[in-house]
Amino acid sequence: MLSPFYKTSILECGTDEAGRGCLAGPVTAAAIILPEKFELDLLNDSKQLSEKIREKLRPILEEKAISYVVTHLEPKIIDEINILNASIRAMQECIVKLNPTPLYIIVDGNRFKPINNIPYSTIVKGDSKYMSIAAASVLAKTYRDDYMNNIHEEFPMYNWKQNKGYPTLEHREAIRKYGITKYHRMTFRLLPEQLFLDL
């Protein structure tokens, strides 16, 4: 059972990201402020939910949220500042666009950097403990999946519609056969024999 809030009686947002371990596509973050008496039985860490359930939950979350923001950070930025910093920046960019501004932030994971002097807590496996982080994980995952489905149309040979840019055997074989695209993360190990990949 997910807890509603980490801090009670204070305007709190949850934030999470999707796509950290992918070879292609953006890292996508979401931040969300849920109302005080919010309840949603099916809500859980997005990784524990089927695609069908995530798609069912998203419009409910968007409708019921006090505020939510989703941000994509492109591979170019990931390569420039590394995936951890890009993940944190994406979450920060979401938080600063929330209206009203949250008074407390809860973050999935164990790493974050202060933003606008708002106090925060990092929570390992927070997406399976707190509603707002779980909600953010669902938004980040569904919006990122939509993004990957769109760019799949541009480069269908990588089958991003199915693998969403993760390092599956199929995806790596496609990289070996067709090379890389503007959506691939150049600082990631795209192939096991990376030293021999002609970039």
Domain containing residue 127: CATH number: 3.30.420.10
Domain presence at residue 1: no
**pLDDT band with cut points at 50, 70 and 90 for residue 193:** low
**What six digits make up the tokens of 144?**
């990122």
- Residues 93 and 15 sit within 8 Å (Cβ to Cβ): no
**pLDDT band with cut points at 50, 70 and 90 for residue 197:** very low
Domain presence at residue 199: no
**What six digits make up the tokens of 92?**
């920060």
pLDDT of residue 199: 46
**pTM score, whole prediction:** 0.94
Domain presence at residue 2: no
Count of alpha carbons within 13 angstroms of residue 192, beta-carbon side: 3
- Residues 124 and 32 sit within 8 Å (Cβ to Cβ): no
Peptide bond into 192 cis (omega under 30): no
**pLDDT band with cut points at 50, 70 and 90 for residue 196:** very low
β 12-18/27-33 pair status: antiparallel
**Tens-place pLDDT, residues 101-158:** 999 999 999 999 999 999 999 999 999 999 999 999 999 999 999 999 999 999 999 9
β 104-108/27-33 pair status: unpaired
Q: Hunting for tokens 């990588």 — which residue is that?
A: 158
Mean pLDDT of 58-86: 98
Domain presence at residue 139: yes
**Tens-place pLDDT, residues 51-61:** 999 999 999 99
Domain presence at residue 7: no
The number of domains in the chain is 1
Domain presence at residue 124: yes
pLDDT of residue 192: 77
Task: Fill in the DSSP letter of residue 131.
Answer: H
Domain presence at residue 3: no
pLDDT of 194 higher than 70 = no
Task: Fill in the DSSP letter of residue 126.
Answer: G
Domain presence at residue 197: no
**Tens-place pLDDT, residues 159-173:** 999 999 999 999 999
Instruction: Give the domain range for residue 96.
Output: 12-191
